[in-house]
């Protein structure tokens, strides 16, 4: 899988990885680290979400395996989260540090790719800021509040719907410049026919009209015969 866009589309979208798929979306994610002005297609966005989800699942499985492994050597009658985490020791600290560093490293490009996806779908970028503000407001509401849960679900659902919207057409989308034509194609075939110049016009008026009648034979001594 690769980048399914040409140079002109990438320049118009202000994103050299526009319409990236597969592992190219990872390059697009970090290559557009602070790109808040371009556009990102659905494929680029959702491939990035897929890889992020897979990475989160792998990290969670590794963490659970480490916790279970630490709990195996402890007295089952006196198990507690505090004892398990203390038994993990430096390993837990390193894991938490890696999680924090990674979260900070992907914070800015994660915001940027959503804004680019919104812009590609024709949605004003500031809508996402409103959604983030509403989501942050749920943390100020009482815990186990129904209103907070509904607001959080509404924000998440709206983000999902907006990121699923199709891309708006790019300006001059699909109009490849003439210098990008296949070398086997003669570019002159795409040019409009030129009107003949005045100097090249047929000089029919100046040329004597040729008679289609047979020439007259007036010599009586040598009569004209066919054959």
List pLDDT tens digits, range 121-168.
Answer: 999 999 999 999 999 998 888 878 888 899 999 999 999 999 999 999
Q: What is the pLDDT of residue 142?
A: 86
Q: What is the pLDDT of residue 87?
A: 74
pLDDT at 225 over 70: no
Q: b/e per residue, 170-205, with b = 16+ CB within 10 A?
A: beeeeeeeeeeeeeeeeeeeeeeeeeeeeeeeeeee
Helix, strand or coil for residue 3? Answer: strand
Q: What is the pLDDT of residue 51?
A: 97
CA angle 72, 91, 105 (to 5 degrees): 135
Q: What is the mean pLDDT of the chain?
A: 81
Q: What whole-number distance in Å separates Cα of residue 186 and Cα of residue 188?
A: 5
Read off the DSSP letter of residue 85. H
Mean pLDDT computed over 36-57: 96
Higher per-residue confidence, 75 vs 53: 53
User: In the Cβ-directed half-sphere of 136, how many Cα atoms lie within 13 Å?
Assistant: 6
Model-level pTM? 0.71
Q: What is the pLDDT of residue 58?
A: 95
Q: How many CB atoms lie within 10 A of CB 122?
A: 13
Confidence of residue 182 (pLDDT cuts 50, 70, 90): very low
Q: Per-residue pLDDT tens for 198-223?
A: 555 455 445 454 545 555 555 556 55
**Percentage of the chain exceeding pLDDT 70:** 74
pLDDT at 102 over 90: yes
Q: What is the pLDDT of residue 114?
A: 97
Q: How many CB atoms lie within 10 A of CB 136?
A: 10
Q: What whole-number distance in Å separates Cα of residue 170 and Cα of residue 8?
A: 10
Q: What is the pLDDT of residue 216?
A: 53
Helix, strand or coil for residue 20? Answer: strand
Q: How far is CA 130 from the centre of its chain?
A: 24
Taking alpha carbons only, the member of 105, 131, 99, 100 closest to residue 117 is 131
Q: What is the pLDDT of residue 69?
A: 79
């Amino acid at each position: 899988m690769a980048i399914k866009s040409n140079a002109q589309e990438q320049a118009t979208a202000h994103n050299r990885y526009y319409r990236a798929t597969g592992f190219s979306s990872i390059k697009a994610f970090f290559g557009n680290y602070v790109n808040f002005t371009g556009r990102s297609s659905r494929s680029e966005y959702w491939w990035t979400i897929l890889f992020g989800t897979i990475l989160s699942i792998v990290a969670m499985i590794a963490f659970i395996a480490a916790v279970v492994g630490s709990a195996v050597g402890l007295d089952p009658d006196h198990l507690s989260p505090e004892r398990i985490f203390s038994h993990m020791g430096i390993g837990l600290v390193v894991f938490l540090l890696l999680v924090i560093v990674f979260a900070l490293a992907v914070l800015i490009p994660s915001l940027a790719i959503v804004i680019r996806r919104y812009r590609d779908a024709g949605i004003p970028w500031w809508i996402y800021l409103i959604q983030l503000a509403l989501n942050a407001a749920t943390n100020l509401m009482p815990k186990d509040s129904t209103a907070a849960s509904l607001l959080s679900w509404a924000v998440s659902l709206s983000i999902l719907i907006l990121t699923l919207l199709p891309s708006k057409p790019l300006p001059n989308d699909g109009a490849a410049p003439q210098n990008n034509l296949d070398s086997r194609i003669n570019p002159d075939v795409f040019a409009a026919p030129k009107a003949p110049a005045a100097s090249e016009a047929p000089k029919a008026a100046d040329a004597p009209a040729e008679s289609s009648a047979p020439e007259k034979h007036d010599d009586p001594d040598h009569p004209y015969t066919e054959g």
